Structure 1
């Protein structure tokens, strides 16, 4: 065996080990989806307060009630998370509102014994508010406003104003609650109906595409595969292994060194600091990946960009990209539900979701959006569809090549929670690339998918704020 093959074999073992450790390690982490589900639960609690929807029984049927929120919180809290203390504060309020005062006191007493700072003080305030007789502690209003959000803040303030006998404050709060509840209901409707309508359209598209395939006349030729590439399996393997090695070198070695250096003067605690760190990391990965592809492909007789298929122009890219997004919706949503059921709130998630949920300023949102909706679709589609799928469809049956590309695309995200949904999405991306013969279509689809997820998170997280 030549030295080159020995080095490649050793690098392959290292890359495979790092991927395996990352995937196995993600199983021990709670799914980010659990936090997203709680955001939707909190939005539902807030929308439930809108009296224009009818009486309490009607609102319970439409939106859910406190008991369903308790069950959602207990499910998430069954797995330890860094947000446990805040969630337990909120769970105690749910118990108290449901008339389960002993459970509320047990929950808050645990926080008083274990927590420190604002969480400890807020738990004392809440116990005092629901005690018999009540105990009104100093700075109760300030602590409630700073430590709680949305429905939970409103509930605690309502109890406080009632005990303090402040009718003016209570009237103003009631008006504000109704305004927030109305806005929360509209957000909830938008979040719930948009994927449903998109999925219905996507199902129709699949029916049409399958019908067209079945009705094809024998003399009609099916769409040809993309032009075969002149390199073989070993060259493809080397290209992907070296890219993964660059990925791990930047994310696990270079950027932690940069972070430790910056952290000496500026700890990366704020959402903006984390966003800039993530943006720099991804920019370096993109630059390194594109540079490697340029170097790798230039020896095969064309400019590297000539190996990427752009047939159909911008119009074709938009048409197929939008169609592909709608077609992907029902399949990915179904696979997400299956994944959640199998993993039972384990499996980790995309670390960018946590940053998005913590962000509160437009500059941070804009930078995150550029990263997820512009940079990621551009580079990842060049790598996985333009290079990898283009290569393997030269050696494998078309369906197998699409599935393999989707699986590798999912593995590259390094968490089990997204493994099945992203495999499905990656397979649809390959299918759209093949059907359109246009890499831009896959980029548009990828951008639309990330944009939809991003905007959905903004709607959910914004709905938990006291004012929006």
Structure 2
């Protein structure tokens, strides 16, 4: 065995340990999906406060039934109670696995927020006595410094809904500091009514009407666009499936399946590119370089505001891309000129239709798999760290940077690496279908969150399918770009609904 292969073997083992450790660590990390569901619920609660003009009322009633539902507050209460129950189960599980985990603190903070809001939803349902008991139980069971603000909030809310009411001196500031969105509106409305502050109450109601109208528009967007795409995707999959049954090898699904790539390099080059150029650069080199720089400059990235975090994420991905593509170039340099169809980018073909069709087809497949996957992981398993930042972000500059990172840089780099290089390289050792599956698995694992492996592998299969049929990286890049852009748009809309 040559020294190069020995070194490559050691680096491969190191990579397996690093990646395996990251996946294991992600088991106890919360998914973003539960938060997304709560953000959508909050948006629905805002929408219920909209009081349209009389001529629009019939249309609003139809909209309410289709998007908001008959009893949004009741559904919201059930949603919050379900998330609370799941958070408690996860907390008990994590306390057994990692007694000192940061996730425990996050879950406890989430439980505090949920219990306060559940009380407000109970009052909306006319269950005032239950709400008072919820807040009283919270006050009695939480006395640490970490929950002191929430305890004060619970005392304020309990006073407002007690009989007779008790208004604490700091009631308004406590509500404004610790509640947001529809929940803040409900608490402040109660306070202003009790204080007979009609002018402030009218101003609050007018502001809520504006927010509620915007919420209706946002709900329509996040419901209609995916709904149309989902319907179109199902129809497209059925049409393509029927065509394949009747036309076989002449169908669209079978296009280019008989055309093989000529792969002049072996498994050693494949490992070299991915072990050195992707996993070690991303998991070891980039974090190490940034860590050293920040230590010298005495900077803590955890203290960055959202704009600096956006630049930090872009810089991280820029170094990963530069390192990965450099390793790819020097690994393949001795094989130049490359055989036909390698890293093919052709603007003159129908790549746009392939990319768009792939996106529409991926929607029903990934959504179905994600729904099943969510039940399996019960809110745990981690998520892309970029998603929570984008969800809670309101800065337009940061949004542009996130878009450049997620919807342009990521699709270009990842498609070059996984579809442009890895997938065709694997066909030297296995069938095209197996190469699509294995490259999709590596694509999913590279995102370092164990709960996302199955949904991302499903997306990777569609990306691989589109690339192998179109033989054009532009098609899979477009699909990838559309997918990430749709995710960012949904996050922005849902996040803006919490204000």
Q: TM-score, normalised by structure 1?
A: 0.91
Q: In structure 1, what is the equivalent of residue 388 of structure 2? A: 354
- Mapping 1:90-169, distance limit 5 Å: 90-98=117-125, 99=127, 100=130, 101-111=132-142, 113-115=144-146, 118-169=149-200
Q: Deviations for 1:71-122, whole angstroms, at most 9, x for unmatched residues?
A: 2442453245524244443333334444222013222454555535644543
Q: Report how many residues are paired.
A: 463
Q: Tell me the distance in 1 between the aligned counterparts of 2:466 and 2:497.
A: 35
Query: For residues 30 and 249 of structure 2, what CA distance do their matches in structure 1 show?
Result: 52
Distance of aligned partners of 1:315 and 1:306 in 2 relative to their CA distance in 1, 3 Å threshold: closer
How far did 1:25 drift? Answer: 1.2
Cα pair distance change 1:462/1:263, threshold 3 Å = farther
Quick one: which of 426, 444, 448 aligns to 2:478?
A: 444
1:45 equivalent to 2:45? Answer yes
> Alpha-carbon deviation of 1:348?
0.6
Q: Is 283-292 or 194-203 further displaced after alignment?
A: 194-203
The 3-state SS of whatever aligns with 1:308 is coil
Counterparts of 1:218 and 1:357 in 2: how far apart (Å)? 44
Instruction: Quote the offset at 1:137 in angstroms.
Output: 2.4
Q: 1:265 to 1:206 in 2, by over 3 A?
A: closer
Structure 2 partner of 1:237: 271
Q: Counterparts of 2:281 and 2:339 in 1: how far apart (Å)?
A: 19
Q: 1:432 corresponds to which residue?
A: 466
The answer to whether the aligner puts 1:335 opposite 2:369 as a matched pair is: yes
Which residues in structure 2 correspond to 1:388-407 (within 5 Å)?
388-407=422-441
Distance in 2 between residues matched to 1:109 and 1:269, nearest whole Å: 36
CA distance in 2, matches of 1:301, 1:394: 18
C-alpha distance 330-408 of structure 1, shift in aligned 2 (>3 A)? same
**Matched residue, 1:290:** 325
Aligned twin of 2:98: none
1:133 shift after superposition: 3.2
* 1:60 positional shift: 4.7
Is 1:91–1:104's contact at 8 Å kept on the other side of the alignment? no
Q: Deviations over 1:367-419 (max 9, x none)?
A: 11110001000100000000001211233211111111111100000101211
Q: For structure 2, list consecutive stretches of 5 or more residues without a partner in the other structure.
A: 52-56, 92-102
Residue aligning to 2:288? 253
Instruction: Note the aligned Cα RMSD (angstroms).
Output: 2.6
Alignment of 1:16-95 (within 5 A): 16-51=16-51, 52=57, 53-54=60-61, 60-61=69-70, 63=72, 65=74, 66-78=76-88, 79-80=90-91, 82=106, 83-84=109-110, 85-95=112-122
1:173-209 Cα offsets, whole Å, 9 max, x none, are: 2233233223212212221222221111112222222
- Of residues 439-448 and 144-153 in structure 1, the stretch that sits farther from structure 2 once superposed is 144-153
**Residue 209 of structure 1 corresponds to which residue in structure 2?**
240
Q: Is the 8 A contact 2:286 2:319 kept in 1?
A: no
In 1, Cα distance between equivalents of 2:263 and 2:404: 32
Cα distance in 2, alignment partners of residues 161 and 263 from structure 1: 47
